[in-house]
C-alpha cells in the first residue's frame, strides 16, 4: 500500500501559513487566553484527519496493521510499532477544539495571570519575576523557544490540581506472548494495587494556601502511595518529595510494616524498576528526574495522532492469567500541534538510554501524550503513553486527566498498566484541601497503617 506523503518540509511550512493567525509559528496561547475555540487557531486540514489525508482515512475509521502506513508519519515510532507489529487497533475520533476540555480552566486562568513572569537564571533554574521567587502557577512559557523551556512547562506542574487522590489503582504487569497464529496476547505476571495521594507545594492556584504552602517553598510536590496488593506490598507505604531545584534528586521514604519503621531510600538509582514493571524510576509519569540533570533539544512541531479519548479507558478483561489485549483500548485523535522534544541523560553517564523523545501538546499545558525511549545503540526500547480524557465535574466544567498510563518494553516483551478506572467506579478526586500533616510526612505514612 502506498504511503501518503503527509509531512514534507513544504507542507509543514504551508501549514504554518494556513493556521489562522499562524498558531504553529506564533503560538497557540493567544487564542486559548482569549477564550476562543481552536478552530480560530488552525486551518481545517490540521483539525480533521479526513481533510489531512484527502479522504484516505476519516473520523470513525480504525487503524490496523493493514492501513497504518497511510499515517505512519503522524504516529510516534512506538505507537506505529504497536499497531503494525503487535496487531493493536485504534479508533480515530474527532479532534477536540474546546480548550477547557483539554486543559483545566483554572490552569488557563493562572497562565494568563502570570504571563511574562517566568525567567531562567544563570543556572537555568525557573523563577517567577526574579531569582529566589518560586513559580506562581500556570504554564511558564506559552511560546517556548528552547527544549529546556518546554520541559520546565511540564515538570513545574506535572499534575495541574493542587491536590488529588486516586483510590484503588490497579497495575497489571503483563508478559507479551504470541499464539500459534503469531498474534500477541498478554499473560498476567502480577497485579499490583495501590492508592495515590498528591499535593503541590508551589504554584498552587485554587486551594488555600496559595501560591505556596508556607515552609515548603523549596519543593514542587509530595506524594504518598500506600500498597494494597499483592500481599508482599500490603502495608508498604511510600512518601516522595520532589524539589524545586532543577539539579536536586527527589527524596523517598518507605514505611516497612514488618519493621514498623520508616527507611530512607536511595534516590540515585534512577534506572532501576522498583516494582518489577516495564519502566524505571526515571520514567514515572513520563519523566521524573530533576529538569537540569538532562539536556533537551526541541526538534520541531507538527500535527500528530495521539491517545486522547472522549471516555474513560478501563482495565481490560482478565481471565485466569490471560489479558484480552496487549494495550488499552484507547481512541486516538489528530492534534494540530505537538512539540517533539528529545531529552538526553547527560547528568547520568551510566544511563542505559541514549535519549527519550517526548510528544507534548501546548493546548494541554505541554503534558506529554507519549514518550519513546531508545537504548545506547539507538534502538527503540520502550514506549510510555497515557490515555487522556475530559471528565465532567458535575458543576458545569471539566477536569481533563488520564484514565490509563501504560508502559511497554519491546526488548523484554512485557508491559505495565497504570489504571485509574473512572470517577464514580473508583474514588478519583481533585482539590480536596489536604494539609501537609494529613498524609505527606514520615509520621503520617506510619499512622496510616498503625491507627
What string of DSSP letters covers 291-315? GGGSEEEEEEEEEEEEEB-SSPPPP
| pLDDT value for 399 | 67
pTM of the model: 0.90
| pLDDT value for 258 | 83
CA angle 104, 107, 109 (to 5 degrees): 115
| pLDDT value for 64 | 93
- Omega before 211 cis (within 30°)? yes
Instruction: Check: CB of residue 298 under 8 Å from CB of residue 146.
Output: yes
What string of DSSP letters covers 221-285? EEEEEEEEESGGGTT-EEEEEEESSTTPPPEEEEEETTTTEEEEE-S--TTS-TTSSSS-GGGGG
The C-alpha cell that represents 106 in the structure block: 483554572
Weakly modelled stretches of the chain, pLDDT under 50: 1-22, 25, 394, 396, 420, 422-425
Instruction: Check: CB of residue 113 under 8 Å from CB of residue 142.
Output: no
| pLDDT value for 268 | 85
Residue 90 and residue 72: Cα distance in Å, rounded?
13
What string of DSSP letters covers 350-396? T-SEEEEEEEEEGGGTTEEEEEEEEETTS-EEEEEEEEEEEEE-SSS
Instruction: Check: CB of residue 309 under 8 Å from CB of residue 387.
Output: yes
Which residue ranges does the chain devote to CATH 2.50.20.10? Answer: 153-450
Residue 330 and residue 339: Cα distance in Å, rounded?
21
Tally Cβ neighbours within 10 Å of residue 356: 26
The C-alpha cell that represents 396 in the structure block: 458545569
367-375 and 353-361 strand pairing = antiparallel
| pLDDT value for 5 | 36
* SS3 state at 143: coil
Instruction: Check: CB of residue 205 under 8 Å from CB of residue 187.
Output: no
The C-alpha cell that represents 133 in the structure block: 521567587
Residue 402 and residue 367: Cα distance in Å, rounded?
11
Residue 90 and residue 88: Cα distance in Å, rounded?
7
| pLDDT value for 403 | 60
| pLDDT value for 430 | 85
* SS3 state at 330: coil
Q: Could you tell me if residue 27 is left (phi over 0), alpha (psi between -120 and 50 degrees) or otherwise beta?
A: left
CA angle 171, 157, 78 (to 5 degrees): 50
| pLDDT value for 21 | 40
Tally Cβ neighbours within 10 Å of residue 187: 13
Give the list of residues 6+ apart from residue 350 with CB closer than 8 angstroms, or none.
Answer: 271
| pLDDT value for 393 | 53
What values do phi and psi take at 9, rounded to 5? -60, -40
Residue 408 and residue 181: Cα distance in Å, rounded?
22
Residue 72 and residue 5: Cα distance in Å, rounded?
10
Q: Could you tell me if residue 437 is left (phi over 0), alpha (psi between -120 and 50 degrees) or otherwise beta?
A: alpha
**Which fold, 153-450?**
outer membrane lipoprotein receptor (LolB), chain A (2.50.20)
Residue 24 and residue 10: Cα distance in Å, rounded?
14
Residue 142 and residue 30: Cα distance in Å, rounded?
9
Instruction: Check: CB of residue 286 under 8 Å from CB of residue 384.
Output: yes
Residue 446 and residue 410: Cα distance in Å, rounded?
38
Over residues 248-267, the pLDDT tens digits come to: 999 999 998 888 889 998 88
| pLDDT value for 123 | 97
Amino acid at each position: 500500500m502506498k504511503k501518503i506523503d503527509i509531512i514534507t518540509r513544504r507542507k509543514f511550512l504551508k501549514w504554518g501559513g494556513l493556521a489562522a493567525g499562524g498558531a504553529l509559528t506564533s503560538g497557540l496561547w493567544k487564542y486559548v487566553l482569549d477564550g476562543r475555540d481552536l478552530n480560530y487557531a488552525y486551518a481545517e486540514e490540521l483539525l480533521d484527519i479526513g481533510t489531512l489525508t484527502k479522504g484516505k482515512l476519516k473520523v470513525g475509521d480504525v487503524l490496523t496493521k493493514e492501513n497504518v502506513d497511510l499515517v505512519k508519519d503522524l504516529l510516534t515510532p512506538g505507537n506505529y510499532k504497536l499497531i503494525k507489529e503487535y496487531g493493536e487497533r485504534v479508533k480515530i475520533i474527532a479532534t477536540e477544539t474546546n480548550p477547557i476540555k483539554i486543559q483545566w480552566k483554572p490552569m488557563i486562568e493562572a497562565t494568563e495571570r502570570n504571563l511574562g513572569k517566568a525567567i531562567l537564571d544563570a543556572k537555568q533554574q525557573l523563577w517567577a519575576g526574579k531569582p529566589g521567587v518560586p513559580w506562581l502557577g500556570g504554564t511558564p512559557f506559552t511560546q517556548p523557544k528552547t527544549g529546556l523551556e518546554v520541559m520546565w512547562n511540564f515538570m513545574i506542574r506535572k499534575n495541574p490540581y493542587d491536590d488529588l487522590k486516586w483510590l484503588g489503582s490497579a497495575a497489571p504487569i503483563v508478559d507479551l506472548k504470541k499464539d500459534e497464529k503469531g498474534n500477541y496476547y498478554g499473560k498476567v505476571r502480577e497485579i499490583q494495587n495501590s492508592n495515590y495521594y498528591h499535593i503541590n507545594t508551589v504554584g498552587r492556584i485554587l486551594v488555600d494556601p496559595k501560591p505556596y504552602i508556607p515552609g515548603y517553598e523549596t519543593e514542587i510536590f509530595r506524594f504518598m502511595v500506600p500498597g494494597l496488593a499483592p500481599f508482599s506490598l500490603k502495608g508498604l507505604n511510600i512518601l516522595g518529595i520532589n524539589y524545586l531545584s532543577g539539579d536536586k534528586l527527589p527524596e523517598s521514604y518507605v514505611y516497612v510494616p514488618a519493621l514498623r519503621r520508616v527507611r530512607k531510600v536511595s534516590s540515585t538509582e534512577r534506572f532501576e524498576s522498583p516494582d518489577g514493571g516495564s519502566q524505571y524510576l526515571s520514567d514515572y509519569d513520563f519523566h521524573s528526574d530533576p529538569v537540569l540533570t538532562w539536556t533537551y533539544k526541541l526538534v520541531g512541531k507538527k500535527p500528530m495522532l495521539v491517545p486522547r479519548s472522549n471516555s474513560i479507558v478501563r482495565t481490560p478483561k482478565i481471565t485466569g492469567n490471560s489479558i484480552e489485549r496487549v494495550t488499552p483500548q484507547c481512541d486516538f485523535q489528530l492534534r494540530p500541534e505537538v512539540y517533539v522534544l528529545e531529552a538526553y541523560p547527560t547528568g547520568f553517564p551510566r544511563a542505559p538510554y541514549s535519549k527519550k523523545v517526548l510528544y507534548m501538546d501546548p493546548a494541554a499545558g505541554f503534558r506529554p501524550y507519549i514518550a519513546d525511549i531508545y537504548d545506547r545503540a539507538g534502538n527503540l526500547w520502550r514506549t510510555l503513553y497515557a490515555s487522556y480524557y475530559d471528565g465532567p465535574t458535575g458543576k458545569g466544567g471539566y477536569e481533563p486527566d488520564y484514565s490509563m498510563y501504560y508502559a511497554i518494553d519491546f526488548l523484554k516483551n512485557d508491559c505495565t498498566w497504570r489504571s485509574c478506572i473512572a470517577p464514580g467506579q473508583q474514588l478519583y478526586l481533585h482539590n480536596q484541601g489536604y494539609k501537609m500533616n494529613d498524609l505527606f510526612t514520615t509520621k503520617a505514612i506510619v499512622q496510616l497503617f498503625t491507627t
